[in-house]
Chain A
Amino acid sequence: MYIKINNNHIELIKSANPYLIFATIFVFIIGLYYSLFQSPPDYIQGDSMRIMYIHVPSAWFALMTYSILAGSCVLWFITRNPLFNVVARSIAQVGMVFTLMSLITGSIWGKPTWGVWWVWDARLTSMLILFFLYIAYIFLWQAISNKELASKISAALAIIGFINIPIIKFSVDWWNTLHQPASISKLSTPSIDISMLIPLFIMTIACFLFLVTVSLIRFRLVLIENKMLRTIN
């Protein structure tokens, strides 16, 4: 499992960048058109449920990004391939943005539906804790001056913080919360209409493209940063 990044790869990433940005914006526009105009309003919640099309993908990707982060930290400890550390560090900021996004959109949706901006229930609180775990991962790396050490330390913290992910995932099943349980599952037939599933699917692709684009830009920056640190030390 030894992958070496050379200058050709970096050039490839760099040249793919504008296309990725264009594709992200394009898919976002299509997804927004479908979710705002082409899908029916909910029969109870009305138009306010349309924020679900951005809330659900960002919450999914917040969890997925942390899983990738923790997984690549584990792989880095096992294989000692520095590429995994670069992946973990380049993906962290995007995950933080996704977490913040899902919290903000969730509370905007909560105001007309639940009547309050915020409820202290298990799903919401554990999501807020996930946000602070991202912050801890990012700022612990910045606080330690020896960067090689900082990567190892913050990777250990990321692996410990992974305990939170199953808590978030199963909080709606374990505790009796206000947040609704998952409606979309691959294993069973989804309890959501196909006309709402299509915009959600497009928005998920858009969020995935956003994740890929931004983390590839970050990936290049982290590699440059590593090179600079090597010349300084």
Chain B
Amino acid sequence: MLNLIKRDLLLSFYSSANFFFTVSFFVLILILIPFAFGTQSDQLKLLFKGVVWIALALSIIITVDRIYNADYEDGNLDIIMQKNKTIEYLVISKYVTHWFIYCLPLLVILPILSFLFYLDYFETIQIFINLFIGSFGMVFIANFVSALTLGAKRTIFLKAIIMIPLFVPFIIFGSDAASWPILLGLSMLSFVISIYVTAYGLRLYGE
């Protein structure tokens, strides 16, 4: 499992363009807010709390093709699955690497952005905690959608249509600062569902 995590992290660091693209995408969506709604500070504050979730959802959706597809196409997935009897280890290592590569940079850049949108420290910490919890849940969902749609090539729109309805509860409870316990519960629930469904999908395609 640690070997798999190490391999995926190294692969992503060698091609660091992916990493910068996701961060830039996230930042650019948020930069669109003042252009679209004007520069009143209290309005920007309100909009930022909601749009940051949409930006997170979109930046996870554009990375969904990168989770299992490369391994599936060059045959690495078959080899990993033959070597490891318990495929759940592979799934967990993919969760960890996907979160590290595509969600952690967004969370790191979030405080800077929230100061640009005139949020104070307390609000920034609240948003950070909510995004931290919610991003795990979104990653779990993105993983199982990616595993289920391995056979459907070049269908990013279809994947978005499957994923956005499943992201809705996270966005509902995430944009409300007080409801982080519900968000934590949702993330745990999606972990339990996701680990079985991802393993099921990978076994179907691996055979």
Contact = CB atoms under 8 A, between A and B. Distances in A.
Contacts of B205: 149
Nearest to A152: B204
Given A143-B152, A153-B149, A160-B193, A136 B200 contact: no
Interface stretch (A53-61, A65-73, A127-135, A215-223): A127-135
Contact of B158 (A139, A156, A164): A139
Nearest to A159: B197
Interface residues of A, number: 21
B197 A156 contact: yes
A36 to B, nearest CB: 36
Contacts of A143: 149, 152, 155, 158
A153 B161 contact: no
Contacts, number: 49
A157 interface: yes
A135 B161 contact: yes
Interface in A17-76: none
A210 B152 CA distance: 33
Contact of A136 (B151, B158, B168, B197): B158
Interface in B120-164: 148-149, 151-152, 155, 158, 161-162, 164
A30 B168 CA distance: 41
A139 B155 CA distance: 10
B152 A156 contact: no
B38 interface: no
A79 interface: no
A160 B151 CA distance: 19
B146 to A, nearest CB: 12
B204 A136 contact: no
A156 B201 contact: yes
Given A132-B164, A140-B158, A149 B204 contact: yes
Contacts of A132: 161, 164-165
A136 B148 CA distance: 12
A150 interface: yes
A160 B192 CA distance: 12
A217 to B, nearest CB: 26
Interface in B153-185: 155, 158, 161-162, 164-166, 168
A185 interface: no
B197 A139 contact: no
Contacts of A156: 148, 197, 200-201
B148 A157 contact: yes
A156 B158 CA distance: 16
Interface of A: 125, 129, 132-133, 135-136, 139-140, 143-146, 149-150, 152-153, 156-157, 160-161, 164
